[in-house]
């Protein structure tokens, strides 16, 4: 019997839910269409209930109790919990402020039961009540129980009158909302009963519906008046409640509940007023009701938001008690309810926005942060996760979109970070038509308070993490979202403050001295915004410390997991590790932090903690070529170095070198603080970055030459000029700004001036990496015979490498940049003084050979007149700023060149290459003679090497059976120099590649062996000077003289 009874109750409950869902699904249809799709009639249900010995009202209460878990107030176990709820209901019915609102709500609720279910003679009237006053009182008690749990009144001891009034007001709003939902259900049921009714009864139904709507509107307006009275009394009582955290928290919860109920009730009323049956009663009166609802909502929002601002902006610390976790969960639930109502409110008019959304969401964020920062003990992981999710949703509602404008199509890049470049570009620009001011927090006092709350919350999260020292894998993404959201808020406020103060975001033109650049600050419009800039800097330091704490925990856990997997021979790739997922989640906000902080004030505050994070990432991912592994796991990324992209790693290398200079005493001195970065770690990081840049540059040069796009660093094609206009523009842009190709594939080929200056600084601070590469690069204490510094790159060891090519690439790029900017300076002087144009016509032959520099300088001047101002952080629209930027660019170039000369980092690349080739050729000849088995061959090889060393000419005799057969070597373009030998390409022995000694002899190789050259490849780079005694100066002459000959002599000369 009990089982049958439960099945019956369950079926009744399910029927009620389905009917309500159907009513909700058909809400947007017309009355007739929506209400005709109802279920069965009530007769069968009533017969079933009566057969069980119950009345319909008793069964409804019983089913509601099973569905909601509500119990009667007479149960002894719930007497204590229901005491506060009973007091809320008593306040609603007995307090003078709520007498009229309660009567209005009760009248509206009793209006739902004004007629019988059969709809006989009393249909259309609202003056009779079928259930009397008890139904309204029961509704009030149910809502009081629900509101008491939501606003945490049950947990507060010694409720004050204001707290009771706030809870009672929220209870009345909840009762009105329940009445509105019951009104929709009752209307649908009555329409179902009249599917086949006559027109008179249908008209009476429409009249009843309209009268009930007006009753609910009157109740809504009366609640607005009660809200004004309650908040007025609360404002008078606030001074006596200083420091009472529970009092303020309860009122904030009541305000948030009232806000969500206000929107929900207004949305429901507008839905009812939009029904076709209601429109028939008069358009003018319906518009009057809509206007009253709109005015009421706007007034309520202004009132509650003003009161909430007074409660939150005083920044009273919420005192933690044993229910701290319950408290933060109540706040999160209240905010989630508001967001859910805003998302579901689709019936409100479009122009119904009398309240300030940005201010309201800012207050909610501050309230949420204030609650979290007051907890000394960490809440549960689920509560932390919900807190982070709620904070993210609020920020997404508040944050203005960062969109690319039409003027940004040819945007130049100041940094490698796209989002940061857009903000720098929009910093000086005015809002375009239709955009308006989209500032997040235009009030400086509110901005300062929000920043302080963010910093306190970050410090609270840091203290929780230091106590735990571990992180659950399920919390990786929530913590990443929290750090990213805090940084996004800081970025918005920071750039707003920069715009308000007119701050010029320039960097020092001389990186090689510790002095700060002579920055000319903009005229501050308000000193309060200057304090906000300092607050944002402090928040950046706090976030970097929190990221470091999380990174340290992730790295420790990943290394432990890797050790276990390594013992079991398992696969634990980098892209599956927690540290990779965490850094991927914060990369868009955390990666630009170092560069943004440096551009802001050239400060060093975030260096230690941020650099520790990148070094920890390298510790886990000590892999040079990681893109193959990532692509196997479906991750599309660029070439990875030290766990990040090469462009990011290059920035980190610069800041590591900057840290090494500023903290040299900490690295090498006796004092060794716990957070100091070891000099070996800096050198190891820089070493891998330099190798990756070397690798990328060589790869790009080989690709461009093989495709015959470019021939060298100057951007000149094989035909001697640049024919592609787009390519020429990109080459010109790369002189000063970061082009997209340099972001995706960083190399020395596209490196701009400011980054080239930083690379020179890196080489100067890490001289052990270039020790011995040049005679003048040896340290004073080093021996003359000291070997070149070579290193292993990567954790797996590998071939020993040196950075001779890196020095050459740096010298070549500086040669290109300096020549272009010299021509650029001449064009600027000519533009200012046209009389210099005559001097410019009489150019020397050397200048004519550098036509590529003139072309790129002309492109810079004509196509990008404001480029220098953009990359130097000035306003490109102002002529004075453009002049200042040009002077700064030329001063930066001069500083870089002087520094490179003083540090002996510059040399003539071509001459040095010739010397290296000659030395290498002689060494190969000697090595080849030593490797022979002795005897006559050894003597002849030694004599030949001595002869070559003295005469610098090697003559060989070539023979071939077929006059058209290949000789077995190739030349360098138009130069008569040996480029490679047939059989395989020439490989540099310095890179550790083996030489194939079993390569089949060609006529050229056979002639060399006959002349005593044991290793034919040793003559690569030598020049052909004579054929059969005739001098040759080009490869065409060589081809002409050897064409069609079976036998001839060839004289070779080693490179100079």
pLDDT, tens only, 409-443: 555 688 999 888 888 888 876 655 445 456 677 78
More confident residue, 803 or 412: 803
Pairing of strands 975-981, 640-641: unpaired
Beta bridge partners of 971: 978
The 10s digit of each residue's pLDDT in 34-51 is 444 333 445 556 556 555
Confidence category of residue 454, pLDDT binned at 50, 70, 90: very high
What's the confidence (pLDDT) of residue 947?
42
pLDDT surpassing 90 at residue 586: yes
pLDDT surpassing 60 at residue 323: no
Where do runs of H (alpha helix) occur along 903-1021? 909-931, 935-951, 1003-1010
Confidence category of residue 996, pLDDT binned at 50, 70, 90: very low
Q: How far is CA 785 from CA 284, 775, 927, in A?
A: 102, 10, 19
Q: In a 10 Å sphere around its CB, with 0-12 CB exposed, 13-18 middle and 19+ buried, how is residue 887 labelled?
A: middle
- 128-160 as b/e: b if 16+ CB within 10 A: ebeeeeebbebbbbbbbbbbbebbbbbbbeebb
What's the confidence (pLDDT) of residue 68?
56
Q: How far apart are CA 612 and CA 562, in angstroms?
A: 21
More confident residue, 18 or 235: 235
- 581-614 as b/e: b if 16+ CB within 10 A: ebbebbbebbbbbbbbbbbbbbeeebbbbbbbbb
Q: How far apart are CA 13 and CA 73, in angstroms?
A: 22
More confident residue, 725 or 83: 725
What's the confidence (pLDDT) of residue 944?
42
Q: In a 10 Å sphere around its CB, with 0-12 CB exposed, 13-18 middle and 19+ buried, how is residue 901 labelled?
A: exposed
Confidence category of residue 393, pLDDT binned at 50, 70, 90: very high
What's the confidence (pLDDT) of residue 46?
58
Are 332 and 386 spatial neighbours (Cβ–Cβ below 8 Å)?
yes
Calculate mean pLDDT across residues 183-208: 81
Task: Express as a percent the part of the chain with pLDDT over 70.
Answer: 70
Are 260 and 337 spatial neighbours (Cβ–Cβ below 8 Å)?
yes
The 10s digit of each residue's pLDDT in 653-694 is 999 999 988 876 444 443 445 678 888 889 889 988 998 899
What's the confidence (pLDDT) of residue 459?
95
The 10s digit of each residue's pLDDT in 846-870 is 455 578 889 889 999 998 898 999 9
For the ranges 154-158, 766-770, 921-925, 1048-1052, which has the lowest average pLDDT? 154-158
What's the confidence (pLDDT) of residue 939?
38
What's the confidence (pLDDT) of residue 92?
86
The highest-confidence range among 120-129, 255-264, 536-545, by mean pLDDT, is: 536-545
Q: How far apart are CA 1009 and CA 1015, in angstroms?
A: 8
What's the confidence (pLDDT) of residue 460?
94
The 10s digit of each residue's pLDDT in 275-302 is 887 777 777 888 888 889 888 888 888 8
Calculate mean pLDDT across residues 746-765: 93
Q: How far apart are CA 762 and CA 687, in angstroms?
A: 10
Beta bridge partners of 442: none
Calculate mean pLDDT across residues 84-89: 69
Confidence category of residue 563, pLDDT binned at 50, 70, 90: low
pLDDT surpassing 70 at residue 455: yes
pLDDT surpassing 90 at residue 65: no
Residue 803 DSSP class: -
Confidence category of residue 791, pLDDT binned at 50, 70, 90: low
Q: Where are the beta strands (DSSP E) in 382-439?
A: none
| Mean pLDDT, the chain, integer | 76
What's the confidence (pLDDT) of residue 684?
87
More confident residue, 981 or 430: 981
What's the confidence (pLDDT) of residue 941?
41
What's the confidence (pLDDT) of residue 543?
96
Tokens of 61: 């209460």
Calculate mean pLDDT across residues 767-787: 57
Architecture of the domain whose range is 911-1053: Roll (2.30)
pLDDT surpassing 70 at residue 226: yes
The 10s digit of each residue's pLDDT in 502-516 is 888 888 888 876 544
Q: What is the pTM of this model?
A: 0.76
pLDDT surpassing 80 at residue 182: yes
3-class secondary structure, 1047: strand
Hey, what's the torsion of the CAs at 30, 35, 36, 42, to 10 degrees?
A: -170
3-class secondary structure, 699: helix
Pairing of strands 954-959, 969-972: unpaired
For the ranges 757-766, 781-790, 979-988, which has the lowest average pLDDT? 781-790
For the ranges 74-78, 217-221, 704-708, which has the lowest average pLDDT? 74-78
Cβ-based neighbour number of residue 296 at 10 Å: 22
Are 174 and 146 spatial neighbours (Cβ–Cβ below 8 Å)?
yes
Beta bridge partners of 1048: 958
Are 924 and 1018 spatial neighbours (Cβ–Cβ below 8 Å)?
yes
pLDDT surpassing 60 at residue 722: no
First to last CA, the chain: 110
Tokens of 747: 């190399």
The 10s digit of each residue's pLDDT in 1016-1043 is 877 888 889 999 988 898 888 899 899 8
The 10s digit of each residue's pLDDT in 456-501 is 999 999 999 999 878 888 899 999 999 999 999 999 999 999 988 8
pLDDT surpassing 90 at residue 149: no
What's the confidence (pLDDT) of residue 1017?
79
What's the confidence (pLDDT) of residue 502?
85
Beta bridge partners of 51: none
The highest-confidence range among 150-154, 475-479, 739-743, 953-957, by mean pLDDT, is: 475-479
pLDDT surpassing 50 at residue 841: no
Confidence category of residue 935, pLDDT binned at 50, 70, 90: very low
Q: How far is CA 1016 from CA 105, 916, 942, 986, 1042, in A?
A: 104, 18, 15, 11, 20
């Amino acid at each position: 019997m009990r089982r049958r009874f439960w099945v019956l109750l369950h079926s009744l409950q399910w029927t009620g839910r389905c009917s309500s869902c159907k009513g909700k699904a058909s809400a947007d249809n017309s009355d007739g269409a929506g209400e005709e799709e109802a279920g069965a009639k009530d007769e069968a249900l009533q017969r079933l209930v009566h057969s069980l010995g119950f009345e319909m009202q008793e069964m409804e209460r019983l089913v509601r109790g099973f569905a909601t878990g509500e119990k009667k107030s007479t149960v002894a176990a719930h007497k204590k919990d229901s005491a506060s709820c009973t007091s809320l209901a008593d306040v609603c019915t007995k307090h003078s402020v709520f007498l009229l609102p309660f009567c209005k709500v009760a009248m509206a609720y009793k209006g739902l039961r004004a007629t019988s279910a059969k709809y006989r003679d009393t249909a259309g009237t609202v003056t009779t009540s079928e259930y009397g006053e008890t139904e309204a009182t029961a509704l009030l008690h149910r809502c009081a129980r629900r509101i008491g749990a939501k606003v945490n009144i049950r947990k507060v001891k010694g409720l004050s009158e204001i707290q009771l009034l706030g809870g009672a007001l929220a209870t009345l709003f909840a009762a009105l909302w329940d009445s509105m939902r019951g009104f929709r259900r009752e209307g649908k049921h009555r329409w179902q009963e009249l599917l086949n009714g006559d027109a008179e009864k249908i008209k009476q139904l429409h009249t009843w519906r309209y009268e009930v709507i007006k009753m609910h509107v009157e109740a809504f307006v009366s609640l607005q008046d009660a809200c004004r009275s309650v908040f007025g009394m609360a404002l008078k009582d606030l001074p006596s409640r200083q420091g009472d955290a529970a009092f303020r928290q309860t009122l904030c919860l009541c305000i948030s509940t009232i806000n969500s109920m206000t929107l929900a009730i207004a949305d429901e009323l507008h839905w009812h007023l939009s029904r076709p049956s209601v429109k028939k009663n008069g358009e003018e009166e319906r518009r009057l009701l809509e206007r009253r609802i709109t005015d009421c909502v706007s007034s309520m929002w202004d009132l509650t938001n003003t009161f909430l601002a007074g409660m939150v902006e005083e920044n009273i610390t919420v005192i933690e008690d044993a229910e701290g976790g319950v408290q933060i969960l109540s706040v999160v639930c209240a905010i989630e309810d508001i967001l859910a109502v805003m998302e579901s409110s689709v019936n409100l008019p479009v122009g119904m926005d009398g309240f300030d959304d940005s201010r309201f969401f800012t207050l909610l964020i501050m309230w949420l942060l204030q609650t979290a920062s007051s907890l000394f003990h960490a809440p549960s992981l689920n509560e932390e996760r919900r807190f982070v999710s709620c904070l993210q949703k609020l920020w997404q509602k508040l944050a203005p979109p960062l969109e690319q404008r039409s003027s940004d199509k040819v945007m130049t890049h100041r940094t490698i970070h796209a989002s940061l470049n857009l903000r720098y570009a929009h910093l000086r620009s005015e809002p375009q038509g239709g955009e308006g001011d989209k500032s997040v927090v235009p009030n400086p006092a509110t901005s300062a308070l929000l920043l302080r709350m963010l910093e306190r919350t970050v410090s609270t999260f840091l203290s929780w993490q230091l106590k735990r020292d571990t992180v659950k894998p399920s919390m990786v993404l929530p913590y990443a979202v929290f750090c990213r959201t805090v940084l996004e808020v800081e970025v918005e406020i920071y750039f707003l403050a920069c715009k308000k103060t007119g701050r010029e975001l320039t960097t020092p033109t001389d990186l090689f001295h510790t002095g700060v650049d002579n920055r000319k600050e903009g005229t501050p419009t308000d000193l309060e915004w200057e304090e906000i800039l300092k607050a944002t800097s402090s928040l950046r330091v706090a976030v970097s410390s929190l990221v470091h704490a999380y990174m340290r925990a992730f790295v420790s856990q990943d290394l432990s997991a890797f050790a276990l997997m390594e013992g079991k021979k398992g696969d634990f790739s980098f892209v599956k590790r927690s540290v990779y997922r965490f850094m991927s989640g914060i990369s868009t906000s955390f990666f630009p932090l170092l560069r943004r902080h440096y551009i802001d004030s050239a400060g060093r505050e975030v260096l230690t903690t941020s650099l520790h994070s990148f070094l920890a990432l390298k510790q886990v991912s000590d892999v040079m070529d990681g893109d193959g592994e990532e692509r196997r796991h479906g991750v599309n990324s660029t070439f990875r170095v030290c766990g990040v992209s090469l462009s990011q790693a290059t920035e980190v290398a610069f800041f590591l070198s900057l840290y090494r200079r500023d903290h040299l005493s900490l690295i090498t001195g006796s004092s060794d603080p716990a957070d100091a970065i070891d000099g070996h770690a800096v050198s190891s990081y820089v070493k891998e970055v330099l190798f990756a840049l070397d690798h990328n540059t060589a790869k790009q040069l080989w690709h461009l030459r093989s495709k015959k796009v470019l021939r060298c660093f100057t951007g000149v094609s094989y035909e001697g000029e640049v024919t592609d206009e787009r390519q020429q523009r990109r080459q010109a842009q790369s002189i000063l700004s970061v082009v997209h190709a340099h972001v995706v594939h960083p190399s020395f080929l596209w490196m701009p001036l400011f980054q080239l200056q930083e690379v020179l600084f890196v080489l100067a601070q890490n001289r052990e990496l270039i020790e011995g590469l040049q005679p003048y690069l040896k340290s004073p204490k080093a021996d003359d015979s000291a070997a070149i510094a070579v290193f292993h790159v990567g954790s797996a060891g590998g071939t020993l490498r040196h950075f001779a090519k890196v020095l050459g690439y740096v010298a070549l790029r500086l040669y290109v940049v300096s020549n272009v900017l010299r021509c650029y300076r001449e064009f600027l002087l000519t533009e200012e003084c046209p009389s210099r144009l005559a001097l410019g016509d009489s150019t020397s032959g050397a200048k004519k050979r550098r036509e590529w520099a003139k072309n790129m300088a002309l492109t810079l001047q004509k196509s990008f007149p404001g480029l220098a101002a953009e990359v130097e952080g000035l306003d490109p629209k102002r002529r004075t700023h453009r002049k200042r930027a040009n002077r700064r660019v030329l001063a930066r170039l001069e500083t870089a060149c002087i520094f490179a000369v003083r540090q002996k980092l510059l040399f003539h690349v071509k001459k040095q290459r010739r010397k290296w080739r000659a030395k290498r050729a002689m060494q190969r000849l000697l090595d080849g003679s030593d490797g022979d088995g002795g005897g006559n061959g050894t003597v002849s090889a030694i004599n030949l090497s001595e002869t070559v060393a003295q005469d610098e000419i090697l003559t060989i005799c070539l023979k071939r059976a077929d006059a058209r057969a290949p000789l077995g070597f190739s030349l360098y373009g138009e130069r008569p120099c040996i480029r490679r030998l047939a059989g395989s390409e020439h490989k540099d022995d310095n890179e550790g590649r083996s030489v194939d000694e079993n390569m089949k002899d060609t006529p050229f190789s056979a002639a060399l062996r006959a002349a005593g050259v044991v290793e034919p490849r040793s003559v690569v780079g030598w020049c052909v000077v004579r054929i059969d005694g005739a001098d040759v100066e080009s490869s065409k002459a060589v081809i002409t003289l050897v064409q069609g000959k079976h036998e001839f002599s060839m004289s070779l000369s080693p490179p100079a």
